[in-house]
Amino acid sequence: MMALMASEQPYHHGDLPEALLAATAEAIDELGVAALSLRDVARRAGVSHAAPAHHFGDKQGLLTAFAAQGFEWFADALETVAGEAAGVSSVERFNALGRAYVGFSVSHKAHFEVMWRPDLCDHYDVVVSEPAGRAFRALQHGVEAMQDEGVATGSPTEDVMIAAWSLVHGLSWLVLQQRLEIFGEVDPEDLAERINRVLFPG
């Protein structure tokens, strides 16, 4: 303990994998995902440039772990919101899910970008597909609950699910890609609620 406090740079980091993931988020936020390099990530975490390979193997390994972390947080966020909205109507509950979906994409821009790019990370790795599946099911349950309550029963459940997903996913990308500037300053979560009301007026 004394030794650790005395030395500014302990040889062992403590939790380097976590620090590298945080550095990855920082680097992507700053320079964009296209410019991401392992050396820059290591630099930001204050370790030698060979250190990341020790934990993640190679660049794709790092990005797969990064996407996995993102999907874990994302699924947790959706499940939490669905749990908290257990008492309200199914439409209000789906509204909350939509707000959370878009809210996550804005507050975790770097993660969100990598999460959906199959060219950057390994989507078939279970560390990614498992939490991705959880997130999907959270949305799906939201849609099914609405249909159980008689909302949007004019279309097959599958169509409603794809429509609802497209709606929140599309809004997320339009916001991230700065395409809604023409509508002035708008809060993305409020927007999610407004467009959800168009899809599910019930």
Partner DNA sequence: TGTACATCAGTGAACGCGCGTTCACTGATGTAC
Given the rule CB under 8 A, which residues bind its own copies? Answer: 32-34, 116-120, 123, 136, 152, 154-155, 158-160, 162-163, 165-174, 177-180, 182-183, 191, 194-195, 197-199, 201
> According to the binding rule CB under 7 A, does residue 55 interact with DNA?
yes
| Total of chain residues touching DNA, rule CB under 7 A | 25
> Which of DNA, its own copies, none has residue 163 at its interface (CB below 5 to 8 Å by kind)?
its own copies
Q: How far apart are CA 30 and CA 18, in angstroms?
A: 19
Told to check if 117 binds DNA by CB under 7 A, we report no
Q: How many other C-beta atoms lie within 10 A of the C-beta of residue 8? A: 6
Contact 69, 21 (CB under 8 A): yes
Q: Which of 4, 88, 126, 162 binds DNA (CB under 7 A)?
A: 4
Using rule CB under 7 A, residue 40 touches DNA: yes
Cα(16)–Cα(51) distance, integer angstroms: 9
Only one of the segments 46-54, 69-77, 85-93, 188-196 lies at the binding site for DNA (rule: CB under 7 A); that segment is: 46-54
> Which residue, 19 or 195, has its beta carbon nearer to its own copies?
195
Stretch that binds DNA, among 43-51, 93-101, 105-113, 128-136 (CB under 7 A): 43-51
Is residue 94 a contact partner of residue 149, using CB atoms and an 8 Å limit?
A: no
Selection from its own copies, DNA, none that 143 binds (CB < 5 to 8 A by kind) is none
Question: Is 106:91 a contact under the CB 8 Å cutoff?
Answer: no
Q: How far is CA 183 from CA 24, 175, 191, 192, in A?
A: 32, 11, 11, 14
Nearer to its own copies by C-beta: 17 or 103?
A: 103
Q: If you search the block for the tokens 């993640």, which residue do you land on?
A: 56
Q: What letter represents residue 33's amino acid?
A: V
Q: Quick one: which of 29, 30, 32, 37 contacts DNA (CB under 7 A)? A: 37
Question: CA–CA distance from 64 to each of 50, 70, 115, 147 (Å)?
Answer: 18, 10, 8, 35
CB under 5 to 8 A by kind: which of its own copies, DNA, none does 29 bind? none
